[in-house]
């Protein structure tokens, strides 16, 4: 399968913040978020080859229970993803898959971490990917499939308070339980995240959502492999 990096760190976002985890980052993404913090998997994708057996061996060297398969978009490679999850599950790993929730496949996973992309992710209108990104960024049926089949968290990357209207609309139209929704500030530096966290926490309190910081950014900034 195609991947860009594999590393041992702590989970910096979502329900499992602080848990030591091995991250396996797959290559390629079908979206083009303007604020993407991993352009080496989307805008300029890296595509190193690794077999499923090699992936499992590399992950197991860290002797770590929790594995996070992320991207890019892991479900772009469904056959390889299914095989990798099967092998990791057999060995007793807890598997989180981070996805933009535009593609679905049945895999062995213990947490699906969906991050549907809001309008704030759109590239400029004159960009060649704008129409495709806008058309594909929200797939209600896929979100419902994941919610019905797996334990899920639904992370929304929030840039301004005005994003709340779109989140509430999606919550109502798709039927996303409030307790699964996490709001996370958009930003790649601690300074930017701190500017947004107070009003974002207030939005969470008012709507019954969970707030998610980005601990890895607070610790290491915009750095790869951590």
For every residue of 74-109, DSSP letters joined together read: GGGSHHHHHHHHHHHHHTT-EEEEEE-SS-------
Q: What is the pLDDT of residue 77?
A: 97
| Residue % of the chain over a pLDDT of 90 | 92
For residue 221, give the nearest of 189, 176, 182, 184 by alpha carbon: 189
Burial label for 125, CB within 10 Å (0-12, 13-18, 19+), is exposed
pLDDT band at 223 (very low <50, low <70, confident <90, very high): confident
- Return the higher-pLDDT residue of 211 and 44: 211
User: For residue 197, which of 207, 209, 186, 181 has the smallest C-alpha distance?
Assistant: 186
93 pLDDT more than 90: yes
Residue 58 neighbours by CB under 8 Å, 6+ apart: 6, 50
Predicted confidence (pLDDT) at residue 135 exceeds the cutoff of 90: yes
205 pLDDT higher than 90: yes
Q: How confident is the model at residue 45 (pLDDT cuts 50, 70, 90)?
A: confident
pLDDT in tens, 55-75: 999 999 999 999 999 999 999
Question: What domains lie within the chain, and their CATH numbers?
Answer: 2-157 (3.20.20.70)
Q: Are strands 111-114 and 66-70 parallel, antiparallel or unpaired?
A: unpaired
Q: What is the pLDDT of residue 145?
A: 98
Distant-in-sequence, close-in-space partners of 1: CB < 8 Å, separation ≥ 6? 26, 49, 50, 51, 52, 55, 77, 80, 81, 84
Residues 95-123 pLDDT 10s: 999 999 999 999 999 999 999 999 999 99
pLDDT at 225: 86
pLDDT of 149 strictly over 90: yes
Q: Could you give the C-alpha distances from 87 to 6, 51, 83, in angstroms and in order?
A: 17, 12, 6
Give residue 221's pLDDT band: very low, low, confident or very high (50, 70, 90).
Answer: confident
Name which of 173, 175, 170, 181 is nearest 204 in CA terms: 181
* pLDDT tens, position by position, 166-188: 999 999 999 999 999 999 999 98
Q: For residue 76, what pLDDT is reported?
A: 97
> For residue 224, is pLDDT > 90?
no
The pLDDT assigned to 82 comes to 98
Token couple for 154: 């639904």
pLDDT of 46 strictly over 90 = no
- The answer to whether 38 and 72 are in contact (CB under 8 A) is yes
pLDDT of residue 98: 98
* Cβ burial, residue 56 (10 Å; 0-12/13-18/19+): buried
Angle at 190 between CA 222 and CA 111, to 5 degrees: 70
What is the spatial distance between Cα 198 and Cα 223, in angstroms, rounded to a whole number? 24
Mean pLDDT of the chain: 96
Instruction: Assign 138 to helix, strand or coil.
Output: coil
């Amino acid at each position: 399968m195609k991947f860009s990096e594999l590393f041992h760190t702590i989970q910096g976002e979502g329900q499992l913040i602080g848990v030591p985890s091995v991250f396996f980052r797959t290559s390629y993404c079908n979206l083009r978020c303007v604020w993407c913090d991993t352009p080496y998997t989307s805008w300029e994708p890296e595509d190193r080859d690794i077999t499923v057996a090699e992936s499992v061996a590399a992950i197991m060297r860290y002797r770590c229970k929790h594995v996070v398969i992320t991207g890019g978009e892991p479900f772009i490679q469904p056959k390889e993803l299914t095989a990798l999850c099967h092998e990791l599950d057999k060995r007793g790993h807890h598997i989180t898959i981070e996805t933009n929730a535009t593609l679905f496949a049945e895999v062995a996973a213990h947490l699906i971490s969906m991050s549907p992309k809001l309008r704030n992710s759109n590239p400029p209108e004159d960009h060649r990917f704008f129409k495709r990104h806008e058309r594909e960024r929200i797939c209600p049926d896929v979100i419902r499939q994941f919610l019905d089949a797996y334990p899920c968290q639904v992370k929304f990357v929030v840039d301004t308070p005005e994003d709340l209207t779109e989140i509430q609309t999606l919550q109502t139209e798709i039927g996303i339980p409030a307790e699964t929704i996490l709001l996370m500030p958009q930003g790649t530096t601690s300074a930017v995240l701190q500017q947004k966290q107070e009003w974002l926490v207030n939005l969470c309190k008012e709507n019954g959502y969970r707030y998610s910081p980005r601990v890895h950014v607070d610790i290491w900034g915009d750095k790869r492999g951590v």
